[in-house]
Amino acid sequence: MAAAPALIDAHGRAIQYLRISVTDRCDLRCRYCMSENMRFLPRNELLSLDELALVADRFVARGVRKIRLTGGEPLVRSDTLDLVRRIGSHLGGGLDEVTLTTNGTRLAEHAGALADAGVRRVNVSIDSRDPATFRHITRYGDVAKVLAGIDAAQAAGLAVKLNMVALKGLNEDEIAPMLAWATERGLDLTLIETMPLGEIDEDRTDRFLPLTGVLADLRARFELLPDTHRTGGPARYWRVAGSTTRLGLITPLSANFCDGCNRVRLATDGKLYMCLGHDEGVDLKAALRDHGPTGLDDAIDGALRRKPARHDFRIAAGAAPATRRHMSVTGG
């Protein structure tokens, strides 16, 4: 396909980052993310590997420099590694990076193949290193599998960033130890406030922990230096003095982060979401199936015109979630 104009939204922001949710399924049921009994999309409603690759091709042709594969848990989908290889073929030809966010339960098995396919960094979601707390948060997860996955990723030469959702009364006492452990291992750590996405079985208000207070506590324990590192994403960074470890904070509720947003999200059903905090999406699957690859550009352009300036996250007792869809649909 011919080149097309770069992706610029109505607010003048260049879109250079595409997140692709390859599945809404997950082998964990984290309490802040999902209900215990989830209803997932039928497999025939998902984009095929070829369709996912075609959409990725088009975004790269229009200036996307980074693609992240997410889920659900991307490694539960059997053809995810094939997709990584196909997207990885663009590295050095317009694409700077292909990365993966995973819960780590299957990372030990796949870390070497990911590195061979061109992945150089992975994000691993881990909210606790304590086996009992981890099992409670995830409902039935085994943290030993995640820790083994982190070991395997580092052995394969992958840089690892830990993602930890800060949860009041569940893991707040583990945040400082997690940062100390990450520093010892040469890992980065990003802390995330819980986000009001989708109906769950619990009241998120009970677990909301503002990161402003967390940062003050960490700065009393660690020498944290402001870091100018930016990805165009929501995190703001500090460097742990004397180490290579960066601490990132994602604060969708206590501090808005949308001014430099450079990303869009492709859900597993083919809908393109311009903002994590809004339900409006554009159906790229229909555009592709009805009009072929050439139909993608019009659909993408229409979506860009509707990208909001910011999200509308708020959290309060009894408040409805910001979106009907769960985090697993668009991958966070």
- Which amino acids are annotated as binding site, given as ranges? 19, 26, 30, 32-33, 68, 72, 101, 125, 161, 195, 258, 261, 263-265, 275
195 φψ region: left (φ > 0), alpha (ψ -120 to 50), beta (else): beta
Burial class (CB in 10 A: 0-12, 13-18, 19+), 93: exposed
Task: Please give the full DSSP string across 114-144, using - where no structure is assigned.
Answer: HHHTT--EEEEE-S-SSHHHHHHHHSS--HH
Question: How does DSSP classify residue 234?
Answer: S
206 Cβ contact list (under 8 Å, min separation 6): 168, 169
Angstrom CA distances, 75 to 31, 59, 190, stand at 20, 23, 21
Angstrom CA distances, 159 to 29, 124, 147, 181, stand at 26, 10, 14, 15
Tokens of 71: 């889920």
**Which residues are documented as binding site for [4Fe-4S] cluster?**
26, 30, 33, 258, 261, 275
Task: State how far the Cα of 119 lies from the Cα of 112, in Å rounded to an integer.
Answer: 10
Contact 64, 16 (CB under 8 A): yes
Q: Is the peptide bond before 270 cis (omega within 30 degrees of 0)?
A: no
Task: State how far the Cα of 148 lies from the Cα of 105, in Å rounded to an integer.
Answer: 8
**Which residues are documented as binding site for GTP?**
19, 68, 101, 161, 263-265
Residue with tokens 């497999």: 43
**Which residues are documented as binding site for S-adenosyl-L-methionine?**
32, 72, 125, 195
E strands in 222-292: 224-227, 236-240, 246-250, 263-266, 271-273, 281-283
Query: Angle at the Cα of 55 (from 49 to 58), degrees rounded to 5?
Result: 140
